Chains A and B, each alone.
Chain A
Amino acid sequence: MTAVTDQDHDPAHAHVKEGAERTGPPRPAFEPAAGAAAGATSSRGEGVSSSGQDTPSGGQGASSSENGASSGEGAVARRDAGEDGRAGAPAGGEDATGSADGDGKGDGDGDDGDGDGGRVGADAERGRDGVNGAHTVKEHERHARGESGDASVGVKSGAGSAPAKAADAPERVKAGDGAAAENAAEGHARVNGDGGRPRGRGDAREKSGDDSPRRTDPPAPRADDSARRGDDSARRGDDSVRRGDDAGAWDDGLIARRVSENAAAAAEQAGRREARGAGAQSATTLALDGPLRSRLDALRELVGLSRTRLDSKTLAEAGKVLDEAASRRRLSGRHTVVAIAGATGSGKSQLFNALAGVTISETGVRRPTTASPIACSWSDGAGTLIDRLGIPGRLRRRPVQSPEAEAQLQGLVLVDLPDHDSAAVQHREQVDRILTLVDAVIWVVDPEKYADAMLHERYLRPMAGHAEVMFVVLNQVDRLPGEAAELVLDDLRRLLDEDGVALGEYGEPGATVLALSALTGEGIGELREVLGQFVTERQAPARRIAADVDAAAGRLRPVYTTGRRAGLSEEARDEFAARLADAVGATAAGEAAERAWLRNANRACGTPWLRLWRWYNDRREPPTGRMRLRPPADEEATARQRVEQAVRTVADRASAGLPVPWAQAVREAAVRGAHGLPEALDELAVRAGLPPGKPPRPGWWPVAVLAQASMTILQIIGGLWLVGQIVGFMAPNLGVPVLLMVAGIVGGPVVEWSCRMAARGPARRYGQDAERRLREAAAGCGRARVLDPVAAELLRYREVREQYGKVVGVG
Chain B
Amino acid sequence: MVTLDVRPQLLDALSALRDRVAAARFPLPLAGAPRARANRDELLAQLDDYLVPRLKQPEAPLLAVVGGSTGAGKSTLVNSLVGRRVSEAGVLRPTTRTPVLVCHPEDHHWFSGMRVLPELTRVWTPQQETGDDLLLPGDDGQRVLRVETVDTVPPGIALLDAPDIDSLVADNRSLAAELICAADIWIMVTTAARYADAVPWHLLRTAKEYDVTLVTVLDRVPHQVVSEVSRQYGALLTKAGLGDVPRFTVPELPESAWGGGLLPASAVASLRTWLVHHAQDPGSRQYAMARTAQGVLNSLKSRLPELASAAAVQYAAALRLTTAVDSAYDSEYARLRGRLQGGAVLAGDALKRWRAFPLDCTAGELLDALVESLASLLLCAVTAADERVDQAWRLEPGAATPELADPDPTGADAEHRIALAVRRWRRELEEYAEEEVREIDRGAAPDPEVVAALVATALLGGRRARSAGEGLAGRIGAHGALRLRDRGGRLLAEHLDRVMHAERERRLAPLDGLDVQAEPQAELIAALSVLQKER
Q: Which residues of A contact B (CB under 8 A)?
A: 343-346, 365-368, 419, 421-425, 446-454, 456-457, 479-481, 484, 487-488, 491, 495, 582-585, 587-589, 591-592, 595-596, 599, 624-627, 631, 634, 636-642, 644-645, 648, 652
Which residues of the other chain, B, contact A422 by a CB distance below 8 angstroms?
A: 196-198
> By the criterion CB–CB under 8 Å, are B193 and A639 in contact?
no
> By the criterion CB–CB under 8 Å, are A585 and B348 in contact?
yes
Contact residue among A365, A479, A596 (Cβ-Cβ distance under 8 Å from B360): A596
Which residues of the other chain, A, contact B140 by a CB distance below 8 angstroms?
A: none
Nearest to A664 among chain B residues (CB) is: B394
A586 to chain B, nearest CB (A): 8
> By the criterion CB–CB under 8 Å, are B91 and A488 in contact?
yes
Is B376 engaged at the interface, CB distance under 8 Å to the other chain? yes
Within 8 A of A (CB), among B224-268: 225, 228-229, 232, 257-260
Contact residue among B191, B194, B258, B344 (Cβ-Cβ distance under 8 Å from A641): B344
Within 8 A of A (CB), among B182-199: 191-199
Contact of A367 with B195 at beta-carbon distance under 8 Å, contacts A452-B69, A624-B471, A641-B344 already known: yes
Nearest to B191 among chain A residues (CB) is: A448
> By the criterion CB–CB under 8 Å, are A447 and B470 in contact?
no
Contact residue among A591, A626, A645 (Cβ-Cβ distance under 8 Å from B359): A626
Contact residue among B92, B369, B376, B474 (Cβ-Cβ distance under 8 Å from A588): B369
Is B493 engaged at the interface, CB distance under 8 Å to the other chain? no
Interface centre among B92, B94, B356, B361 (most CB of A within 10 A): B92
> By the criterion CB–CB under 8 Å, are B347 and A638 in contact?
yes
Contact of A453 with B167 at beta-carbon distance under 8 Å, contacts A487-B92, A645-B383 already known: yes
> By the criterion CB–CB under 8 Å, are A456 and B168 in contact?
yes
* Given A451-B164, A641-B377, A642-B376, 10 other A-B residues pairs in contact with their CB atoms under 8 A: A346-B193, A367-B195, A422-B196, A425-B198, A448-B72, A453-B166, A480-B91, A591-B356, A638-B347, A645-B380
Interface size class of B (residues with CB under 8 A): 35 or more
- Leading 7 A-B pairs by shortest Cβ distance: A345-B193, A451-B93, A639-B348, A588-B352, A595-B360, A367-B196, A592-B356
Within 8 A of A (CB), among B366-388: 369, 373, 376-377, 379-381, 383-384, 387
Is B353 engaged at the interface, CB distance under 8 Å to the other chain? yes
Which residues of the other chain, A, contact B353 by a CB distance below 8 angstroms?
A: 585, 588, 592
Is B349 engaged at the interface, CB distance under 8 Å to the other chain? yes
Which residues of the other chain, B, contact A343 by a CB distance below 8 angstroms?
A: 193, 197
Bound state CA distance, A479 and B191, in angstroms? 14
Bound state CA distance, A625 and B473, in angstroms? 11
Bound state CA distance, A648 and B386, in angstroms? 12
Which residues of the other chain, A, contact B222 by a CB distance below 8 angstroms?
A: 365
Nearest to A425 among chain B residues (CB) is: B198
Q: Which residues of B contact A (CB under 8 A)?
A: 69-72, 91-94, 164, 166-168, 173, 191-199, 201, 220, 222, 225, 228-229, 232, 257-260, 339, 342, 344, 347-353, 355-356, 358-361, 369, 373, 376-377, 379-381, 383-384, 387, 410, 464, 467, 470-471, 474
> By the criterion CB–CB under 8 Å, are A592 and B355 in contact?
yes
Which residues of the other chain, B, contact A484 by a CB distance below 8 angstroms?
A: 91, 258-259
Which residues of the other chain, B, contact A582 by a CB distance below 8 angstroms?
A: 348-349
Which residues of the other chain, A, contact B342 by a CB distance below 8 angstroms?
A: 636
> By the criterion CB–CB under 8 Å, are B199 and A595 in contact?
no
> By the criterion CB–CB under 8 Å, are B258 and A480 in contact?
yes
A430 to chain B, nearest CB (A): 15
A484 to chain B, nearest CB (A): 5
Interface centre among B192, B380, B470 (most CB of A within 10 A): B380
Bound state CA distance, A451 and B194, in angstroms? 13
A458 to chain B, nearest CB (A): 11
B407 to chain A, nearest CB (A): 16
Could you jot down 14 A-B contacts, CB within 8 Å? A344-B196, A367-B192, A447-B258, A449-B194, A456-B168, A488-B91, A595-B361, A627-B355, A631-B355, A639-B348, A639-B373, A640-B347, A641-B376, A648-B380
Which residues of the other chain, A, contact B373 by a CB distance below 8 angstroms?
A: 639, 641-642
Which residues of the other chain, A, contact B358 by a CB distance below 8 angstroms?
A: 625-626
Contact residue among B167, B196, B464 (Cβ-Cβ distance under 8 Å from A424): B196
A619 to chain B, nearest CB (A): 17
Which residues of the other chain, A, contact B384 by a CB distance below 8 angstroms?
A: 644, 648
> By the criterion CB–CB under 8 Å, are B196 and A584 in contact?
no
Which residues of the other chain, A, contact B381 by a CB distance below 8 angstroms?
A: 641
Which residues of the other chain, A, contact B92 by a CB distance below 8 angstroms?
A: 487-488, 491
Bound state CA distance, A626 and B92, in angstroms? 95
Which residues of the other chain, A, contact B229 by a CB distance below 8 angstroms?
A: 365-366
> By the criterion CB–CB under 8 Å, are B359 and A624 in contact?
no
A365 to chain B, nearest CB (A): 4
Which residues of the other chain, B, contact A626 by a CB distance below 8 angstroms?
A: 358-359
Contact of A423 with B348 at beta-carbon distance under 8 Å, contacts A451-B168, A488-B91, A644-B384 already known: no
Bound state CA distance, A684 and B198, in angstroms? 73
Contact of A367 with B193 at beta-carbon distance under 8 Å, contacts A454-B166, A479-B258, A588-B353 already known: yes
For the A-B complex, the count of residue pairs with Cβ-Cβ distances under 8 Å equals 195
Bound state CA distance, A23 and B389, in angstroms? 58
> By the criterion CB–CB under 8 Å, are B193 and A587 in contact?
no
Which residues of the other chain, A, contact B348 by a CB distance below 8 angstroms?
A: 582-585, 588, 637-639, 642
Bound state CA distance, A56 and B471, in angstroms? 100
> By the criterion CB–CB under 8 Å, are A423 and B197 in contact?
yes
Contact of A648 with B383 at beta-carbon distance under 8 Å, contacts A451-B167, A599-B360 already known: yes
A321 to chain B, nearest CB (A): 27
Nearest to A640 among chain B residues (CB) is: B344
> By the criterion CB–CB under 8 Å, are A457 and B168 in contact?
yes
Interface centre among A448, A584, A644 (most CB of B within 10 A): A448
Which residues of the other chain, B, contact A642 by a CB distance below 8 angstroms?
A: 348, 373, 376, 380
Bound state CA distance, A479 and B221, in angstroms? 12
> By the criterion CB–CB under 8 Å, are A596 and B344 in contact?
no
Nearest to A479 among chain B residues (CB) is: B257
Which residues of the other chain, B, contact A344 by a CB distance below 8 angstroms?
A: 193-194, 196-197
> By the criterion CB–CB under 8 Å, are A591 and B360 in contact?
yes
Contact residue among A367, A424, A452, A491 (Cβ-Cβ distance under 8 Å from B232): A367
Contact of A648 with B356 at beta-carbon distance under 8 Å, contacts A447-B91, A587-B349, A634-B464 already known: no
Nearest to B222 among chain A residues (CB) is: A365
Nearest to B95 among chain A residues (CB) is: A451
Which residues of the other chain, A, contact B377 by a CB distance below 8 angstroms?
A: 641
Interface centre among A368, A454, A585 (most CB of B within 10 A): A585
Bound state CA distance, A456 and B173, in angstroms? 14
Nearest to B336 among chain A residues (CB) is: A641
Contact residue among B167, B173, B198, B380 (Cβ-Cβ distance under 8 Å from A421): B198
> By the criterion CB–CB under 8 Å, are B344 and A453 in contact?
no
Which residues of the other chain, B, contact A447 by a CB distance below 8 angstroms?
A: 71, 91, 258
> By the criterion CB–CB under 8 Å, are B191 and A592 in contact?
no
Which residues of the other chain, A, contact B198 by a CB distance below 8 angstroms?
A: 421-423, 425, 454
Bound state CA distance, A641 and B380, in angstroms? 6
Nearest to A644 among chain B residues (CB) is: B380
> By the criterion CB–CB under 8 Å, are B351 and A640 in contact?
no
> By the criterion CB–CB under 8 Å, are B91 and A487 in contact?
yes
Contact of A449 with B196 at beta-carbon distance under 8 Å, contacts A491-B92, A634-B351 already known: no
Bound state CA distance, A481 and B91, in angstroms? 10
Bound state CA distance, A479 and B259, in angstroms? 12
> By the criterion CB–CB under 8 Å, are B196 and A423 in contact?
yes
B523 to chain A, nearest CB (A): 36
Contact of A481 with B359 at beta-carbon distance under 8 Å, contacts A366-B232, A421-B198 already known: no
A532 to chain B, nearest CB (A): 29
Contact of A585 with B350 at beta-carbon distance under 8 Å, contacts A479-B258, A595-B360, A631-B355 already known: yes
> By the criterion CB–CB under 8 Å, are B361 and A451 in contact?
no
Which residues of the other chain, B, contact A638 by a CB distance below 8 angstroms?
A: 347-348
> By the criterion CB–CB under 8 Å, are A481 and B166 in contact?
no
Bound state CA distance, A565 and B71, in angstroms? 50
Nearest to A346 among chain B residues (CB) is: B193
Bound state CA distance, A346 and B196, in angstroms? 12
A397 to chain B, nearest CB (A): 25
Which residues of the other chain, B, contact A367 by a CB distance below 8 angstroms?
A: 192-196, 232
> By the criterion CB–CB under 8 Å, are B71 and A421 in contact?
no
